Chain A
């Protein structure tokens, strides 16, 4: 089987197991909801402040949620040593990463889209007419978070302080994604909305660089 068909089979398994257990989606959605509501009550922002600070708070909430979501993606494979079975079954280990990245991006996007109306209501934000831009930003941002996060989750899963290590590595590494995604979202949320293509370009390059690095070196991250 080829790389893509292996990855598709693995992605199907990820989605099926998640929709059966609902562990990641439910905890992440509740977590983001709590953070967004807390931010809203803490700052009680005016419309102007919402435009300036809202996107940053939103992406910060997504980042925290992602760190929760990414942690189990390889830990779950350790419970019954299914990662070994996957390594024996797939010809190219990058298929495992592709599927994990795909699943994490999908789950994160789902949470983000679910939270968007809540955020708009609490922060007096309007994304009218900007949905394609928002979707593109969310997709590229989530892909970047998932790609770098999946690589780090694979590393941290084999360490002793795995629960602490992932957020410690993840948050600094994803700072550029946070900044770029926030800037693009600020542009889309402003009274005269515009698309910051420079930020979109940065997100795309970040995604490509990390995907390439994983394609080249991912095999070593799965070794015992």
Chain B
């Protein structure tokens, strides 16, 4: 259930500004992400990582500049899986009801089987009938990740995906993302500090005050970009 390489999509942010009142969350940001690339976004609090992910998801419209997708039919948005800070889940519904509901909206085929498969993969198969409000932060994050993967997205956006996850769930997440990446899914994820998930990325981009200040694909500077140690 992972996207094939021919469905890979690319993104091009061109001179993007996003302003909230007088404050620039993104300022003159230009960034190109190739189809199938896995990119780690780093930066201090307020550097614009979350805003960039929301612009990429088309949830937030930039104040200035353009976002273009490649590999997507004209006038269509790509199928996006988004795991944000908030879980984007309904507390009054069970884990299974949440996933079935979103699967229905997304037009997922064989909904029940897909939901069961994902719930088992994230280790919540036995708690599928429990209300989400009874879950711990880590369990909610697992359901949120399952929700993002429901429709087999060609673009995955993760805002600090390992938040609240234990070692076992983090290992599952890394394994699953690796499979998706290897099959051509474009992944853009924001990370805060050192993270095991960062090993998946082939490229690290650091933001500061809404602009790209470092962009590296490999080598000695890669880790320093993620950990803010370098220039």
B49-69 interface code vs A (CB 8 A; 1 in, 0 out): 000001001011100000000
Which residues in B have their C-beta under 8 angstroms from that of A90? 105
Determine whether the beta carbon of A13 is less than 8 Å from that of B101: yes
Determine whether the beta carbon of A10 is less than 8 Å from that of B105: yes
* Complex Cα–Cα for A196 and B125 (A): 58
Q: With A6-B105, A9-B101, A10-B105 in contact, is A84–B91 under 8 Å at CB?
A: no
Determine whether the beta carbon of A224 is less than 8 Å from that of B89: no
Which residues in B have their C-beta under 8 angstroms from that of A20? 92-93
Q: With A1-B104, A89-B105, A224-B60 in contact, is A84–B90 under 8 Å at CB?
A: no
B155 to chain A, nearest CB (A): 11
Q: A46 near B: Cβ within 8 Å? A: no
- In this complex, what residue of B is CB-closest to A89? B105
* Complex Cα–Cα for A20 and B97 (A): 13
B:71-103 near A, CB below 8 Å: 80, 82, 84-93, 97, 101-102
B:178-204 near A, CB below 8 Å: none
Which residues in B have their C-beta under 8 angstroms from that of A17? 90, 92-93
* Complex Cα–Cα for A90 and B87 (A): 18
* Complex Cα–Cα for A1 and B106 (A): 7
Interface size class of B (residues with CB under 8 A): 20 to 34
Determine whether the beta carbon of B90 is less than 8 Å from that of A80: yes
Determine whether the beta carbon of B107 is less than 8 Å from that of A85: no
Interface of A is mostly: helix
* Complex Cα–Cα for A1 and B105 (A): 7
Q: A42 near B: Cβ within 8 Å? A: no
Determine whether the beta carbon of B84 is less than 8 Å from that of A84: yes
Which residues in A have their C-beta under 8 angstroms from that of B82? 84-85, 88
A:199-224 near B, CB below 8 Å: 223-224
Q: B114 near A: Cβ within 8 Å? A: no
Determine whether the beta carbon of B59 is less than 8 Å from that of A88: yes
A:48-99 near B, CB below 8 Å: 79-82, 84-90
Which residues in A have their C-beta under 8 angstroms from that of B57? 84, 88
Which of these, A12, A82, A88, contacts B90 with CB under 8 Å? A82
* Complex Cα–Cα for A80 and B104 (A): 20
* Complex Cα–Cα for A138 and B221 (A): 68
A18 to chain B, nearest CB (A): 9
Q: B142 near A: Cβ within 8 Å? A: no
* Complex Cα–Cα for A86 and B57 (A): 12
Determine whether the beta carbon of B92 is less than 8 Å from that of A85: no
| 5 A-B interface contacts by CB (under 8 A) | A10-B105, A82-B90, A85-B89, A89-B106, A223-B60
Listed from nearest, the 5 A-B pairs whose CB atoms lie closest are A81-B86, A85-B88, A89-B105, A17-B92, A1-B107
Q: What is the interface of chain A, defined by CB distance below 8 A to chain B? A: 1, 6, 9-10, 12-13, 16-17, 20-21, 79-82, 84-90, 223-224
Q: What is the interface of chain B, defined by CB distance below 8 A to chain A? A: 54, 57, 59-61, 80, 82, 84-93, 97, 101-102, 104-107, 147
Known: A20-B92, A81-B87, A88-B57. 19 other contacts (CB 8 A): A1-B107, A6-B105, A9-B101, A9-B104, A16-B93, A16-B97, A20-B93, A21-B92, A80-B90, A82-B90, A84-B54, A84-B86, A84-B88, A85-B89, A85-B147, A223-B61, A224-B59, A224-B60, A224-B61
